[in-house]
Amino acid sequence: MKLTKKLAKNLLKKMCLIRAFEEQADKSYMEGKVHGTIHVSIGQEASSVGSISALNPDDYILSTHRGHGHSLAKGADPKLMMAELFGKEAGYCHGRGGSMHIADIAGGNLGANGVVGGGNPMAVGVGLAIKMRKQNQVVLCFFGDGAFANGAFHESMQLVVRFELPVIYICENNQYAMSFPTGDEKTSEQLAESGEYYGMPGIAVDGNDVLAVRKVVQEAVDRARTGDGPSLIITDTYRRKAHSRSDRDAYRDKKEVKEWEAKDPILRFKKLVTDDDLLTEEEIDNIAQQANTSVEEARLFAEEAPEPALETIEDGVYAP
């Protein structure tokens, strides 16, 4: 895969936008402007951007509670996303979903999920619909390493293999299932072996290397499009922040965090594109500034957007 200047710009833009958005979302939560809780993906940008960059615009994704990066990588509007976090009517779900339930159906994002591994069985249904309609689409289903302990994950794996569905399962192993270190249980390579157990390719990849992620996902996407069925990919990455804002993050030491900060996916990619003379320092600075500007505009939009009207409180609520 040849890395062109155009592709380098696009990948860096997406990663910088996600980082800026997550930092502002975290700050806005601490200021009391975002309610409930929030799960940011700072440090995991290469996993979402590398994966989703291998898709066509009409392909689908299913996300997780830590899904802001997935949404932005799929092309979501930062203004509508920030408005959703702020609980405003202008948000993607009219302020009803919040941080953990953003969906952009028109953009192919079928939604984030507050249930651990909740998207896994949904991906079976989406994949089955694609196959029944004889469409040339695929679905990426993201989940965390903690979902391996969920029965629905294993049931879903059996079904997508049985029906040879165009589903790519992407486990973002950020080293912790909440406070439980994944490394005490299994490595990413061992997790990837689960794919082989069920009869599909399983591969572990450096989740902080955006090009490595893009390569393995592209291969899985091509395989799914040609009717050769599903794949399991483990992206080995790290969440730099606590699990959520209610997490005191007392279970890991600062040395570990510093070691992973040195593997920062954005810094690594910046070094690569400058070493290869694809982008100049000025171009890189401009990309970062554009991301910051876009997120600041999103913050102002969200703060000024109207609250949902009281008379709409039952909209979207269904009962017999």
pLDDT score for 320: 64
- Strands of the 231-236 sheet, one edge to the other: 60-62, 139-144, 167-173, 231-236, 202-206
Contact 236, 205 (CB under 8 A): yes
Reading the block at residue 79, the tokens are 């203004």
Q: Would you state the pLDDT for residue 148?
A: 84
**Tokens of residue 40, six digits:** 């940011």
Domain edges within the chain: 5-304
pLDDT at 248: 78
Structure letter (DSSP) for residue 179: T
Q: How does pLDDT run across 143-174, given as a tens digit for each residue?
A: 998 888 889 999 999 999 999 999 999 999 99
pLDDT band at 245 (very low <50, low <70, confident <90, very high): confident
Rounded to the nearest 5 degrees, what angle is found at the Cα of 22, between the Cα atoms of 206 and 292? 105
Helix, strand, or coil here: 43? coil
Is residue 33 predicted with pLDDT exceeding 90?
yes
User: Which of helix, strand or coil describes residue 202?
Assistant: strand
Distance from C-alpha of 124 to C-alpha of 250, rounded to nearest angstrom = 37
CA-atom Rg of the chain in angstroms: 19
The sign of the CA dihedral 140, 142, 148, 153 is negative
Return the pLDDT at 252.
87
Tokens representing 63 are: 């996300």
| Average of per-residue pLDDT across 225-247 | 91
* Element holding 170 (H helix, E strand): strand 167-173
Whole-angstrom Cα distance, residue 248 to residue 198?
Answer: 37
**CATH code assigned to 5-304:** 3.40.50.970
3-state per-residue secondary structure call for 49-94 = HHHHCCCCCCCEEECCCCCHHHHHHCCCCHHHHHHHHCCCCCCCCC
Q: Cα separation of 198 and 156, whole Å?
A: 10
